[in-house]
Structure formats: structure tokens, C-alpha cells
Amino acid sequence: MSGSERVFGCYRQLSPNTTIIVNSSAASGHDHHTGNLIQVGLRHAPRTEIIREMPVVKYSTPDEVLAEALSLAALPAGAVESRLEMLRLRYREAPLLFTQETLQLLREAGERAKQARADACDDRALAALKEVFGYPTFRAGQLEIIRAAMAGRDCLGVMPTGAGKSVTYQIPARLMGGVTLVVSPLISLMKDQVDAMGEVGIRATFLNSSLDPAEWSQRAARLRAGEFEMLYAAPEGIDASVGQLLDSLDLKLVAVDEAHCISEWGHDFRPSYRNLAGLKRRFKGIPILALTATATPRVKNDIIEQLALQNPLEVRGSFFRHNLHLFAVKKGKGDGVRDMILRLVRARPGEAGIVYCLSRKAAETTAEFLEGKGVHAAAYHAGLTPEQRANTQDKFSRDDLDVVCATIAFGMGIDKSNVRFILHRDMPRSIEGYYQEIGRAGRDGAPADCVLFYSWADVMSLDRLLENSEVQDPEVADQQRRAVRRMFDLADSPACLWRRLAGYFAEAVAACGESCGSCLKRDIVGDARPAARPSGKKDWKKKRPALEGASRPLEDFDAKPYKPERDAPELTEAIPDPGLFERLRALRKTLADERKVPAFVVFSDQALQDMAARKPRTRHEFLEVHGVGQKKLEEYGDSFLAEILRER
């Protein structure tokens, strides 16, 4: 063995007269002879063998052991681990040498060592967050999940869409080495995810049925050669070709995205996810990270059972997203739904939005109606050919299409961060589904509006759909009917919409104050600026009378097709220097088209807003912009700085 060996993730110089002990069982936590002794911090260590340096020392009396335990208190926390391991081994040989006082001292030393490792992990993770993604701090829950993954512990993370779930496996993928497997439900999403990783310097690839055999084999060979840090795959492939490949990779972590799909009690059960049930047994010792935006207690327990998670850390983020402004508008009062949708879309010229519809026909007719009024819109539903769906999604991702009118088939198929509004033409089937769908808005942290149109007629329509569905289990059918009625009750309540929504997921929050129509006393349809009105800023935050579902008269919508002027969007917060923001957005679009990637992959809207506010003049100042890491500084810094410095 050479003069230095890898020990606990770092290198130590070995001293003379040192014995090297290769011991993986000590890290596994399976040695029951150690009782409550200093196992803290080792219970969830990675499965790789741990090599420790220890002088050959034997303790013969309880006093000698106690003296050693007392001496550990004077050592720096990072220096006690090898001494603790030596004492662990001695305890297995002669437990009677360890008094209660000694055991307590060693537990305290173990806690200090554990905290030292956690602090070191935190420092490395935060440095990677800034260098790779350009973010100064972690969002709530992210660091706890990263710690668990880095320590080799299974974890269930229930975090809202837009809370940064992907960072919780991307950072470990960068720091742990080897390959992180990410199970993603839709292959249509994988290319954008891989493109986004490439833009920040993370080496990622995907394997799915969209690849021809030659390309698939080439990527597999590169994976075996260690050229990629992350692999995206669909659950269908885990028991087939991808599963066979995994045995030849240095797999470090498995992340299961949209984990609620594994539960038949969830709102979006997918049988293909049951292919994942044997992963834990197959890859013993490799941590599994299950992630979802929505999970009731029953679904949460089902996820843990189906994935066979071992003593998982459970992290639940807040369901409240202050940047999403929720509104519920009852149908049958004032204008028709179609006209109200047009009014809302026209108030947001050039902004990206999704209109969710209950049926394929509704999606198509709504898209045709908007197209006829000059809005760049298209339909998306399962009845279209794969090529048609891919074309619509590609245009939407690249900002060549402003509005997609979609059924729930578009639910998890979009990773676009700059969606500025979600409109529900019809009431969703469940609160879980509603939360998932509004979660597609404002993923970059910038403000977005979510408007739900609802009525009791929607409840009846959903009941009829259920009667004609393939659901056989009476209990499941009854559960779905109850879910529809809970959704109606949520929309129809005059109370804070966010408070009731979070309460459904067992989170108690105060009234939001300014993130829902009830608290704002705002008539969002009435506030929507008609096309004929001159553009300009509006301060709608002043108090307005509560007008449930009412709206103002339309102003000749059929006069001529509407052409967006692309002025600053009328959102809940003013954009600093709207002119500069639009120039930066145009530059982003140009660069994205050149690279054939979605515009939001280059920079998010929030990053552009921060640029417009900060107006950086140097590369160092540009690196301080939200979302600018080292790779993006090198790729785009000069172009955006030139645009910012250009006189107007």
C-alpha cells in the first residue's frame, strides 16, 4: 500500500508502524455487538469499503479506556474518527472494559465527528451549488436531502414543483463520483433535462426508446468508461436493456422522480413504476432518493413500501409557493370561459402559458379559438401523433409558441422554467392533480398567475368520465369521486386558497396575504387589460371589491387578430428596467436558437430580471447574478455584458 490512502472521502498521509484495516461491516451498522456505542455517523455510510489508519494499540483496563475517551474531548472533531474506530474494535473484543461514563463520552465524540463530516459535506455542497448553478443558498429541504444521499441513506422528499428537487440529486452526482441514475417518467422530457445539465457543466446523458441502436450502444460504452455523471432513464427500461447496463456501472445513487406514480392510491398511478420495486434489493447499499411534489400520508407510505426504502429520511418542503398567485373564478357569471381566457392571455403578450382542458376536444377548440384571435397557440393531448406532440412541446420550450392548450397528458412533460401563467378551463380531477399542474408555472421563482375556472357541471362531467373509465375497483372509484368533490370545495371556498390547499396536504400555514385572489380581493379577469387599452404599468395591488367570477364587458375582441406588442408582462411584481429585460430576453432567444436548446436553459426569467436590476459591468459582477455559475459565465458572460453595456 502506498504512503497515502483514501480515508472517509479524503487522503491521509500514513505514518510508520500503522496497520491498515479494510472494514466495510463497521460502516453498515449491522454489527449488533456495538449496541449504543459510537455508531453515530456510520450507520448510513456508503457501501464502498472504508480504509482507516490506526496505530496498533490494546487497552487492558477500564481506566485506560476511560483515559482515551477523555483525551478525545481535547481533539478537533475531524481528528477523532480513527481513534473512535479503534475503540469500536476493542469494544467488540472486550465490552466489559467500557463503563457507562466511557460510553457516554464516546457517544459525544461520535456526535462531534458526525457533525464535522456534516459540516464538511455542507461546505462542499454549497460550493458546488454556487460554482455549478450560480445560486448563493439552498432552498428549504435541499441540503437535508443532499446530506442523506451523501451519507448513503435512503430518503423520501416531498417538495413542491419549483422547489428545486432536481438539485438534491444533481449536487450529489457532482460530488460523489460514479454514476447517478435518475428515473424520469416521460422520455420527452429527458433531452431538455440533459441539455440543461450540459449548460451548467454536468456530464449527463439519457437512454430510452427514442435512440437508434448505434447511438444507444455508443452512450452505453461511454457510461462504462466513466464519461457521464448522470443517466436519465424511464422506468420501463429498468428491467430491460438499461437494467442490464446498470450492473456494469459504478452506481452511487438512484433518484426516482415523480415517485407518487408508483402508488395506486396516487392521482397519477403508472404501472411501469412497479418495475422499480426490486431496485433496493438488486443494488444493496446504494441509497435511493424518492421525490414527489404531492403525496398524501397513504401515498407516502406506499412509496416507502414499494421502493423498499430502509429507514428513510423524510423531508417535506412547504407546499406554499409565494410567487404563484392563485385565483378561482366560478363559471356562469359574466363572460364565457373562452372569452375570459382570451382576455387573460392578451394581458400577457409574449408570455408563456398553459391552458388545461378536461377533454381533447376542448383543448383543440380552445387552441383554434386563440389562434383565430392572433395568439400563437397549439393543442396537446394523447390523441395526437408522437411527432405532433413532440413538435408542439419543442416549439413551446423554445419560445416559438406562447400558449399550449392541453389535457393532463401535458402534466409531467414540460420542464420549462419560465411559464408565467396556468389557466384551468375546466376543474381538475383532484387537488393533487391541480397542485401538480399549477406547479408548472413560475419554476424560476419569478411571479406567475394561476386561474382556475370551475363549476358543479365540471363535477358532473368528471363523474361521467369515471363511469366510462376502466376503473374496476369500487374503492378506487369511490376515492376518485370524493377527490373531485374535494377539489370543488377547495375552489368554492371564500377563505385563503393557499391556506386550504396546504391544509389538504397536512401543512398548517397562515393566510397568504398577497398570493391568492381571496386575500388580494382581486378580480383578475376584470383587471386583465383589453387589447385596445394603451400599454403601461398598473398598480393593481390597491384594494378592489371582491367580484366572484364577474368581469368587465369585452371590448370588441373580434375586431381584428391580436398581435402581441411584447411589452413588459403585467405580473404581480414590477420588472426592473423592462426595456433592458426585453433586450436580454431577445438575446437569450437568439443564443438558444443557435445552440438548439430551449431559451430557459440558457438563463431563467429570474436570472434576466436580476441582470436588469443589477446591470453588471464586469465578469466578476456578472458572476453575482442569480443563476450564473462558472460555466455560464464562460459561455454567455461576454454576450450579455455587451448587451447590458450597450447604450440605448
pLDDT above 80 (res 351): yes
* Residue 596 CB burial class (10 angstroms; 0-12, 13-18, ≥19): exposed
The per-residue pLDDT for 129 is 93
pLDDT above 50 (res 583): yes
Rounded Cα gap, residues 14 and 376, in angstroms = 67
Q: Which stretch of 318-322, 337-341, 448-452 has the lowest confidence by average pLDDT?
A: 318-322
pTM: 0.66
Please state whether 521 falls in left (phi above 0), alpha (psi between -120 and 50) or beta. left
Characterize 204-220 residue by residue with b for buried, 16 or more Cβ atoms within 10 angstroms of its Cβ, and e for exposed: bbbbbeebeeeebeebb
Residues 6 or more apart whose CB falls under 8 angstroms from that of 336 comprise none
* Listed residue (500, 496, 528) closest to 514, CA to CA: 496
CATH node for 324-527: 3.40.50.300
Query: What type of residue sits at position 56?
Result: V
Confidence tier at 421 by pLDDT (50, 70, 90): very high
Mean pLDDT for the chain overall = 79
Torsion angle of the four alpha carbons 599, 604, 608, 610, in this order, in degrees rounded to the nearest 10: -170
Query: What type of residue sits at position 443?
Result: R
Rounded Cα gap, residues 516 and 498, in angstroms = 7
The per-residue pLDDT for 538 is 37
* Listed residue (184, 170, 160, 106) closest to 135, CA to CA: 170
Residues 6 or more apart whose CB falls under 8 angstroms from that of 253 comprise 149, 169, 172, 173, 176, 180, 181, 286, 287, 288, 289
Give pLDDT tens digits for 137-157: 998 889 999 999 998 999 999
| Helix and strand counts by DSSP (H, E) for the chain | 25, 17
Residues 6 or more apart whose CB falls under 8 angstroms from that of 328 comprise 451, 452, 454, 490, 491, 492, 497, 517
268 phi, psi to nearest 5 deg: -145, 50
The per-residue pLDDT for 531 is 43
The per-residue pLDDT for 337 is 93
Residues 6 or more apart whose CB falls under 8 angstroms from that of 639 comprise 587, 591
**Residue spans in the chain of domains classed CATH 1.10.150.80:** 578-645
The per-residue pLDDT for 314 is 93
Per-residue pLDDT, averaged over 351-372, amounts to 94
Per-residue pLDDT, averaged over 519-530, amounts to 83
Per DSSP, the three-state class of 158 is strand
Contact 173, 207 (CB under 8 A): no
> Distances in Å between the alpha carbon of 1 and those of 5, 10, 15, 49, 145?
8, 16, 12, 15, 35
**Whose grid coordinates read 436580454?**
584
The per-residue pLDDT for 272 is 73
Q: What is the secondary structure of 465-499 as a DSSP string?
A: HHHTSS---HHHHHHHHHHHHHHHHHHH-SS-HHH
pLDDT above 50 (res 94): yes
**Residue spans in the chain of domains classed CATH 3.40.50.300:** 134-316, 324-527
Per DSSP, the three-state class of 6 is strand
Contact 564, 350 (CB under 8 A): yes
HEC letters along 502-518 = HHHCCCCCCCCCCCEHH
CB atoms within 10 A of CB 138: 19
* Residue 303 CB burial class (10 angstroms; 0-12, 13-18, ≥19): buried
Q: Which 8-state DSSP code applies to residue 33?
A: G
Contact 105, 68 (CB under 8 A): no
- Supply 275's cell numbers: 418495475
Q: Which stretch of 405-409, 430-434, 618-622 has the lowest confidence by average pLDDT?
A: 405-409
* Strand pairing class (51-55; 18-22): antiparallel
pLDDT above 70 (res 282): yes
Higher pLDDT, 187 or 442: 442
Per DSSP, the three-state class of 575 is coil
Confidence tier at 268 by pLDDT (50, 70, 90): low
Give pLDDT tens digits for 585-622: 999 999 999 988 888 889 988 899 999 999 999 999 99
Give the length of the chain: 648
The per-residue pLDDT for 57 is 57
Per DSSP, the three-state class of 54 is strand
Higher pLDDT, 244 or 233: 233
Contact 583, 569 (CB under 8 A): no
pLDDT above 80 (res 102): yes
Higher pLDDT, 84 or 204: 204
| Structural element, H or E, at residue 251 | strand 251-256
Rounded Cα gap, residues 629 and 435, in angstroms = 31
Which residues pair with residue 51 across a beta bridge? Answer: 22
Rounded Cα gap, residues 598 and 605, in angstroms = 12
The per-residue pLDDT for 52 is 42
Per-residue pLDDT, averaged over 499-523, amounts to 91
CB atoms within 10 A of CB 21: 15
CATH node for 134-316: 3.40.50.300
- Supply 524's cell numbers: 383578475
Rounded Cα gap, residues 378 and 385, in angstroms = 14
Contact 363, 379 (CB under 8 A): yes
The per-residue pLDDT for 599 is 86
Rounded Cα gap, residues 148 and 318, in angstroms = 19
pLDDT above 80 (res 551): no
Contact 331, 457 (CB under 8 A): yes
Fold of 578-645: DNA polymerase; domain 1 (1.10.150)
CB atoms within 10 A of CB 539: 6
Sign of the CA dihedral 470, 474, 476, 478?
positive
pLDDT above 50 (res 293): yes
Rounded Cα gap, residues 97 and 87, in angstroms = 11
